[in-house]
Amino acid sequence: MLNILKNRSMNVTTTLITLATLALPSIAGEKTLVDYAPHGPTKKEGDFGSLTGTQSSWTPTAECETIQLKPQLPQGLGSEVNATLGRQIVANGGKCISFAQSTNHRFKKEDQFFGHFSWIAASRWHAQENEILCHLFVTEDNTLTGKRIPLHTWQSQPDQGRAKWQTDPLADTSLIHQPNALGKLVFIEFTSTAGVGQFARLDNVFLAVKNPRIGSLKAQKSPPVTPKIAKPTPKPSIKPTPTSRPEALVGLGSITIYLRNK
């Protein structure tokens, strides 16, 4: 009997552990926002499209009127074009060259962004002073030109030489505390600190987001499972079956009494 109780206790414990495990959220998921071929299965304009085919999804920002796409350099990265970043010469107005695009992702609590991009110094780029800046932001009206709410800014690594492409990380942002940005579209933008007539070329942009909520929406929508343990069935009370002994005693008693009276 003791062994049976122990087995039942172990079965209940196992059931509780299994149900508790099923109720736990999934491991943090990741979602690609910007990518390039062949790095990712689906190209998302991280290589700026092509000169003759795909129209680039990047939009000029600041003073720029058009995004400047250049044919890939002989020592390029394999894509057809790359984008020019910097500031035009005085003859062309000295305007800043920068560009951005929507990631089609709405900012969520616990979002953490990461990725990388490749670049190479071009005309008159000053290795000691110039740097590329990558910005993440949202806007109040979810348009590129709306009032910005900044999320994060990365800085490029020191220039490794004009003749060599380098890949710089967009290091993990960790958690971004920006309550006003929740639910709004996230934009990515590239700018630089270049002076007039100073340029760099940019290519192979990769950006992703990770969040414990990605891939575990079903677990979050479902309430926690509370295991129900069946109550033990009460044992029926056993009443003793009456025997003929009391009746015999009564009979004997009556007979005894009858004999005495006689």
pLDDT digits (tens, 9 = 90+) for 231-249: 555 665 655 555 544 444 3
pLDDT of the residue at 53: 53
Q: What is the pLDDT of residue 43?
A: 65
Is 181 a residue whose pLDDT tops 80? yes
| pLDDT score at 221 | 37
The enclosing domain of 193 has a CATH number of 2.60.120.260
pLDDT (tens digit, 9 = 90+) per residue, 147-180? 999 999 999 998 877 678 899 999 999 889 999 9
6 in a structural domain: no
Assigned domain for 122 exists = yes
Instruction: Give CA–CA dist 61/101, Å, rounded.
Output: 10
- Let me know if residue 260 belongs to a domain: no
- Quickly tell me which residue has 């800046």 as its tokens: 133
Q: Is residue 9 part of a domain?
A: no
- Asked if the structure places residue 53 within a domain, the reply is yes
Indicate the pLDDT class of residue 55, thresholds 50, 70 and 90. low
Which is higher by pLDDT, 216 or 192? 192
Mean pLDDT rounded to a whole number for the chain: 74
∠ at Cα 111 (203, 165), nearest 5°? 15
Residue 201 lies in a domain: yes
58 lies in some domain: yes
* pLDDT beyond 50 at 225: no
Question: Lowest-confidence range among 3-17, 99-113, 147-161?
Answer: 3-17
pLDDT value, residue 164: 84
- Identify the band that residue 44 occupies on the pLDDT scale cut at 50, 70 and 90: confident
Number of structural domains in the chain: 1
Q: Tokens 């295991």 — which residue?
A: 227
Residue 182 resides in a domain: yes
Question: What is the C-alpha separation between 32 and 113, in angstroms, rounded?
Answer: 10
Q: Residue 123 above 90 pLDDT? A: no
Name which residue leads in pLDDT, 72 or 229. 72
Give me the domain span that covers residue 181.
29-215
